[in-house]
Amino acid sequence: MNMIHIQPTVHAQSASWAQPIEMLFACHGRVKNFCRQLGMLPDYLAKNGINQAVKNDVKQIITYFNVAAPLHHEDEETDFFPALLRYVPQAKADILKLEAEHVGIHKIWAQLGVQLQELIDEKRTGIEQNLLDDYRAAYARHIALEEPLFELGQKHIPAEQLTAMGKIMAERRKIRK
């Protein structure tokens, strides 16, 4: 049995690369769900120990934050943020803060990801709570600052530019496979 069932968000149910901002929102939905699972992990381990179900869930989390999350950040930094700045230059301070947060989130993940892999490999029985809390809090703050910018992008970036952006983002994933 899984720690928690991941329910697709509204954005995830309808998102496609033809609507790249919806895909960015959908990615945040997955991040929120995986962070919720991470928050449940210590109690689950205390009650059930390391079993195949937890290993399966943790493998999914590791894969997501090793592969999809960095691609998502690259989408933002390479494609979305520059486009948004063209139409909403007053977003620059928030964008600079978000880019710095990406670096911080990746640093925390570098430590947390190792601990999660060690958990799967049964080299440890738990995760450092402060590291887990820091990671979840960093993403919560990050998403709260970033999603209003997604909404600005939906309002101000022309549809043809969004379409082109979506094609670039989709291609990025084909290249990385």
Q: What pLDDT, in 10s, does the model give residues 14-31?
A: 678 899 999 999 999 999
**Quick one: pLDDT at residue 15?**
74
Q: Tell me, rounded to whole angstroms, the distance of Cα 176 from its chain centroid.
A: 17
pTM over 0.85: yes
pLDDT at 80 over 50: yes
Alpha-carbon gap, residue 138 to 32, rounded angstroms: 11
Q: Which CATH class is domain 20-176?
A: mainly alpha
Alpha-carbon separation of residue 162 from 39, 66, 108, 133 (angstroms): 34, 26, 31, 35
What sign has the CA pseudo-torsion 57, 60, 66, 70?
A: negative
Alpha helix locations (H) across 1-91?
10-14, 20-48, 52-63, 69-74, 81-87
pLDDT at 176 over 80: no
